[in-house]
Amino acid sequence: MTPPVFDFISDLMDQYINYLVVEKGLADATIESYGSDLKNFADFLKSSRIDPLAETDAAAVLKYLIDLRKAGLSARSRARHLVTLREFFKFLVQEKIIKKDPTRIIDLPKTGIKLPDVLSLDEILLILKAPDGATPRGARDGAMLELLYAAGLRVSELIHVKLQDVNMDMGFVRTLGKGSKERIVPIGSKAREKIEDYVKNARPRLLKNHVSSYLFVARAGNPMTRQGFWKLLKKYTIQAGIRKNITPHSFRHSFASHLLEGGADLRAVQMMLGHVDISTTQIYTHVARDHLKKLHEQYHPRG
């Protein structure tokens, strides 16, 4: 028979997941990840006969992280598990179920800084020029690539942009990011030109007799799939003669890094990317700092 304390802990975890769904509005994939991590922690507590609400639960969390390391999890994966527990215990403190967060004294496992894959401006331009704008599909693909780079969209956001989401006169796109959070991002003149040309000349030919609210359409007026866009990007990367392993997210990373290299404010880039926490955006400053260091070495008399 399961001791009552563990039933109570499971109930609290269920309450927390419900809080993430209802109050925080997080994406399904994020909810699933949190739920999986918490279930793993709950299983550990039961097998170890540990009460996490006791005064010694900091030690319990440490033992859990050690067990994860013994099981072969990388530092990055262990750090993710600890972040999940930090958020869970923060919730318990917020709800006045416990007085102190036991994870506050535990440091994240050192993972090192993994810099994003960033394309140079020349590489971006080569890819943007690859689609044949004289064909309906080429015009569509060119407009998609321009918008991806102009607004730093995630691929899931790009394929779900609707006609009404793009304001050509004002020059911005409205999108729903993670947790269904809306943001408005400028798109610039080049993307506007490509989108206007696509909507006027290519989109009706792709739709034929179908109707769709989506800006970028595939067969029968349906939006393009993530996998479909990945294949297109890979094709144009090869056509451009670039041998790097490019993903749609590479464009998002490049968007942020190029803005910072050009002197954009970090908070502004945070807003355009749709990051809730600025610490998520700060990883791009390492790329920008490398650029500034090279400029200093090149042009400073004592560089």
- Domain range list for the chain: 4-105, 121-297
Q: Which of 19-23, 170-174, 271-275 has the lowest mean pLDDT?
A: 271-275
Q: What CA–CA distance (Å, rounded) separates 90 from 196?
A: 48
Q: What are the CA-CA distances from residue 142 to residues 137, 160, 198, 225, 259 (Å)?
A: 8, 16, 9, 16, 21
Q: Which fold has domain 4-105?
A: DNA polymerase; domain 1 (1.10.150)
Give pLDDT, residue 277: 57
CA pair distance 84, 160, nearest whole angstrom: 29
Q: Please list, in sequence order, all residues whose beta carbon lies within 8 angstroms of the beta carbon of residue 78, skipping any fewer than 6 positions away.
A: 65, 68, 69, 109
Between 101 and 115, residue with greater pLDDT: 101
CATH class of 121-297: mainly alpha
Please indicate whether the domains covering 4-105 and 121-297 agree at the CATH topology level.
no
What is the pLDDT at residue 12? 86
pTM (two decimals)? 0.60
State the pLDDT confidence band at 278, using cuts at 50, 70 and 90. Answer: low
For the annotated catalytic residues, the residue numbers are 154, 178, 249, 252, 275, 284
**DSSP H stretches of helix in the chain:** 4-19, 28-48, 57-70, 75-94, 121-129, 136-151, 155-158, 188-197, 203-207, 226-239, 248-261, 266-273, 278-281, 283-299
Predicted pLDDT at 123: 95
Instruction: With cut-offs at 50, 70 and 90, classify the pLDDT of residue 127.
Output: very high
Task: Give me the mean pLDDT over the 209-231 stretch.
Answer: 92
Task: Read off the pLDDT of each residue in 278-291 and give the average, rounded to a whole number.
Answer: 56
- Among left, alpha and beta (phi > 0; psi -120 to 50; other), residue 139 is alpha
CB under 8 Å, gap of 24 or more: what pairs does 38-44 form? 38/13, 38/84, 38/88, 39/13, 40/81, 41/81, 41/84, 41/85, 42/6, 42/9, 42/10, 42/13
